[in-house]
Chain A
C-alpha cells in the first residue's frame, strides 16, 4: 500500500536552468500538494503530460528524491524517516532504465538480489521461476550489451522482481518499446495485480491506462487535477473518449490558470 499526503517538491534552479526556463525565480515547484492512496491488488495510474511532475512524484515514492514537505508511507513504513526499510518493499522500473552492458543477465540479477539481501535458496527458486516465465534461460549467460531490446526488457523485469517487492513502481515503462516488447510489461503489471501487489505506473498513453488501471490520478504542472477510480472517471467524462477527456481536463486547467 502507498499512502502519500500533501507531497511537495521544490528544486533550486542553477543559473543555466534559469536561463533555459527564462525565469528569475530561484526555485521551481515540480510537485505541489499531491495526495493519493494506492491499494494492494489494484493498479493505480498517474497520468499527465510531459513535465507534469509524474517522474518526480515516483522518484519521491522510490526514495531517490527527498520531498520538500508532505508524507509518504510504503506498506505502513514512513519512507522519509526510514528510506532503507521502505526500499526493501519497492520494485522500481522505468522506461529509461539502463542495464550493465558488460554483465550477463545472470550476474545482473544476482547482483540486485545481493543488494536486497535475498537469501540464497529464495534467490535460486525465484530466479528459476522468473527465467522460465520470461523465457530467459537461453540468453542468461550472454553479455547484456549483445541482447535485443526485448531481451533487455525481460532482464529489467527480472531485476525489478527478484526481491519479490510488495509495491511496484513503473515510470513510463513502455516508452520507446514496440508493441511486442511492451506486451511483457503489460503482462507483468497484470501478474503483479493478481498477486495482490500494489502497482503504480505513470503514463501518457491512454490506451494502456484504459487497459490496466483501477484507479487514476491526473496531474498537471505539479498539481492534482483528478483522483478517483477509473469507473468514476468514465462516469464523469464530458468528451467522447479517454484521450479527448484527458486533453479537455488539461486544457481547462490551462485556461483557468491563464
Chain B
C-alpha cells in the first residue's frame, strides 16, 4: 500500500511544473552557471589587469633615481604612463577620482640619500578599493629596490651571499587534491545540502499542506490505508525529491566538466577527476540519504500543522536558513571533522564530504556521522508520524 501511495504521489509531483523547476532544472543549471561565471570573471579580470595601462602620478624632480628606473622597467611589468604632479594633494585627489591609479611622492633629498647610501624616502599612494593596484605598485617598487640593492652591493664591494644568514625553503606537504578539498571543498556539500533541502521543500508542502488545502486528504483518510502507510508513501517521495535535486546538482557538475568543458585548467581537471570517483559518489549518498530523511522529517510536521501553502512556506523558508547555515562551516578552512563535529547534524555531512574530497577521511568519524544522521532521521520520522496521527492536524 505504501508503494501505491508512493507511485501516485511521485506521478503527481513530477507533473508539477514548480516542483520540477526547483527539483531538477535549477540544480542542473547551478554548477554550469557558477563555474561559467567564475571562470569568465577571473579570466576577464586577469586579461583586464594585464592589458590595462596604469597611470602613475609622480611628485619629485625628473632626474630622481626611482623615476628613471621606473621608466626603464620593461612592458612585462604591465603598461604604464607617468604623469608629473607638483604637489601630493592634487595627486591624492586624482587617485580618489580614478584619473590616475598609483601615486609616487619622493622627498627632495631622495637622490642625495641614494648617493650617501642612506634610505631614500618615498611615499606610495593607492586606492585599496581599486583591485590589484596595491600589488602592481609593490611589484614596481620591489623590483626597483632590488636593482638599487644590487648596485649598492657592487659599489660597496660586498658579497650578497654573506649578507644572507639563512636560505630557507618553504615546502607545502599537502597535495593539490588536499588543498582543493580543504580550502574549496566546502562549496560542493553546501550546494548538495541547499538543493537537498529545496528539493524536499516543495513536495513536502504540496503533498501534506496542499492535500489538506485542496480537500483531498479527507477522502484519502476514509480509505482502509493506515495513516503511517500514507505518511511513509508521501515521505518516500519527499526524500526522493531531495535526493533527485542533489543528484541533479551533481549531474550539473559532471556536465560542466565533461560536456561543456568549462574548466580548462588541466591540473585542476586531473584533481577533479581523481575526486569524482564511483566510491566518492557512493559515500556521498551514504551521507545524503539520512540527511534528506532528516530534512523531510523536520519539514513534514510543519507541513502537516500548516493550514495553507503560504503558511507552510512562511515557516519552512526560515527553517531553510537554520538548516543550511551550518553547511557554511565548510567554507572555513580551520574546522575539521572530529568526534565533536561528527555529532553536529549538517556540519558533520559538510566536513565529511570535504575530507572525502581531500582524501583524508577517517572512516570511524564517517561512521559516527552516519549514525548521528540516521538517529536524527528516525527521531524526525517519529515526530512526523505523531503529528500526522493527530486528527486536528490532518483536517482543516
Contacts and interface: CB of A to CB of B under 8 A. Distances in A.
Interface of A: 11-12, 59, 62-66, 84-85, 87-88, 90, 92, 94, 96-103, 107, 111-112, 114-117, 159
Given A11-B392, A64-B391, A116 B216 contact: no
B222 interface: yes
Contacts of B218: 59, 64, 92, 94, 96-97
A97 B216 contact: yes
A98 B395 contact: no
A63 B223 contact: no
A85 B216 contact: no
Contacts, number: 68
A87 B16 contact: no
A112 B223 contact: yes
B222 A84 contact: no
Interface in B165-201: none
Contact of A88 (B12, B220, B224, B226): B224
Nearest to B15: A102
Interface in B104-139: none
A230 to B, nearest CB: 27
A111 B4 contact: yes
Given A64-B221, A115-B4, A98 B11 contact: no
Given A64-B222, A102-B15, A115 B215 contact: no
B243 to A, nearest CB: 21
User: Most B CB atoms within 10 A — which of A12, A84, A100?
Assistant: A100
A96 B218 CA distance: 10
Interface of B: 1, 4-5, 8, 11-12, 15-16, 214-216, 218-226, 391-392, 395
Given A97-B218, A107-B11, A65 B391 contact: yes
A96 B395 CA distance: 12
B224 A87 contact: yes
Contacts of B12: 100, 102-103
A65 B218 CA distance: 10
Contacts of A59: 218, 395
A175 to B, nearest CB: 12
User: Most B CB atoms within 10 A — which of A85, A102, A107, A116?
Assistant: A102
User: Most A CB atoms within 10 A — which of B15, B219, B391, B392?
Assistant: B219
Given A102-B11, A102-B16, A115-B1, 17 more contacts: A11-B392, A59-B395, A63-B222, A64-B218, A84-B224, A88-B224, A92-B219, A98-B219, A100-B8, A100-B216, A101-B214, A102-B15, A103-B11, A103-B12, A107-B8, A111-B4, A115-B5
Nearest to B217: A98
User: Most A CB atoms within 10 A — which of B16, B215, B222?
Assistant: B222
B156 to A, nearest CB: 87
B225 A96 contact: no
Contacts of B1: 115
Nearest to B4: A114
Given A96-B215, A102-B12, A107-B11, A115 B395 contact: no
Given A59-B395, A103-B12, A111-B8, A116 B224 contact: yes
A21 B298 CA distance: 32
Given A85-B224, A87-B223, A107-B11, A66 B391 contact: yes
B240 to A, nearest CB: 17
B207 to A, nearest CB: 11
B34 to A, nearest CB: 32
A188 to B, nearest CB: 16
B222 A62 contact: yes
A202 to B, nearest CB: 14
A112 B222 CA distance: 11
Nearest to A93: B219
Nearest to B212: A98
